[in-house]
Structure 1
Amino acid sequence: MVSGDIARVRDFVRDFLTGAQAARGWAVSERAMDVARLVASELATNVCKYAPGPCLVDLETDGTTLGIVMWDSGAVLPVAYAADPTRIGQHGLELVLMVCQSFEVRQETIGKSLRALIALTDAPDSITSARAAG
């Protein structure tokens, strides 16, 4: 994967969700669209930086959540570092963990797979909390 592929992954996610909205009538909030594209971008960036060889992206949805699965041939599993605002870079996995409902890393026969699960709509209580905080 090269850096230009990261934009293609973001576009793939956008097109997939837009297609799901049009074909199935599923609701996808603007926030969910942004979060899904961010997560896919961060996972693709890690592949671009750290994994040799090929990679695969798989998207799956049941209309309420989006699963983003990224497989690559690298054997080294990603590590989320403790939050450190003075650290330059290496915040991608931190961000992914903050915005996903779940995140799973699996060692595969060859390489690894990462699976992030994202809600497609905004929970009413999180919208109320965000407005109260703002």
Structure 2
Amino acid sequence: MASGDLPEGEGDATTGGATALQTAAALDGDFSCIAQARDLVADFLNSVRADHGLPVSARAMDMTQLVVSELVTNARKYAPGPALLELRIAGARVEVTVWDSDPSLPVARAAEPDRVGQHGLEIVMAVAQSFEAHREPVGKRITAGIALSDDPDADPAIRRDRTAR
């Protein structure tokens, strides 16, 4: 797994003209990359808090690691080849984007109390303020937004937009 900060150009609307806060990692190999992806979240959000003074609640840290774990697990389990994880601060939330090579868009399954497993998408949609899935020329891109504060409804910039395209 390789990672690094990827500065974005000046004038980005989500950062008021400053360089965007984001990082990315290529995920390949075995399922150990899931733990590495969770570590990347912790390092990134700790840096956002310590180096940039943005509030990041303990809940935001936990929920972002959970979302990353679920999305990366699905990418490693169902899509052949590498995946890409991107983390980006967008206003008062962190956006988690996972790209993989499988063009099939995920669908949340109906509730089945006896079903073991396959609840990852349901979990992501329950804890994220936004969720989008898009087909790409090769594969798909899934993005989930998680509020950085414990009171996401206090910030009008955060919408509860759960659409799949």
Structure 1 residue 121 corresponds to structure 2 residue 149: yes
Deviation at 1:54, TM superposition (A): 1.2
CA contact (8 A) 2:131 2:145 kept: yes
Task: Classify the secondary structure of the residue corresponding to 1:47.
Answer: helix
Structure with greater helix share of residues: 1
Greater RCO (Cα-Cα under 8 Å, separation 6 or more): 1
Cα pair distance change 1:124/1:19, threshold 3 Å: closer
Cα pair distance change 1:31/1:75, threshold 3 Å: same
Percent pairwise identity: 52
Structure 1 residue 110 corresponds to structure 2 residue 145: no
Deviation at 1:86, TM superposition (A): 1.0
Match of 2:92 among 64, 67, 86: 64
Structure 1 residue 48 corresponds to structure 2 residue 76: yes
Separation in 1 of the partners of 2:124 and 2:106? 12
TM-score with structure 1 setting the length: 0.89
CA contact (8 A) 1:83 1:94 kept: no
In structure 1, the residue matched to 2:47 is 19
TM-score with structure 2 setting the length: 0.73
Q: Runs ≥4 in structure 1, deviation > 2 angstroms?
A: none
Task: Classify the secondary structure of the residue corresponding to 1:74.
Answer: coil
Gaps of 5+ in 1: 127-134
Structure 1 residue 100 corresponds to structure 2 residue 100: no
Match of 1:6 among 34, 40, 51: 34
Deviations 1:48-93 (A, max 9, x none): 1100011111111035100000001112211110122210100000
In structure 1, the residue matched to 2:111 is 83
CA contact (8 A) 2:70 2:121 kept: yes
Separation in 1 of the partners of 2:130 and 2:32? 27
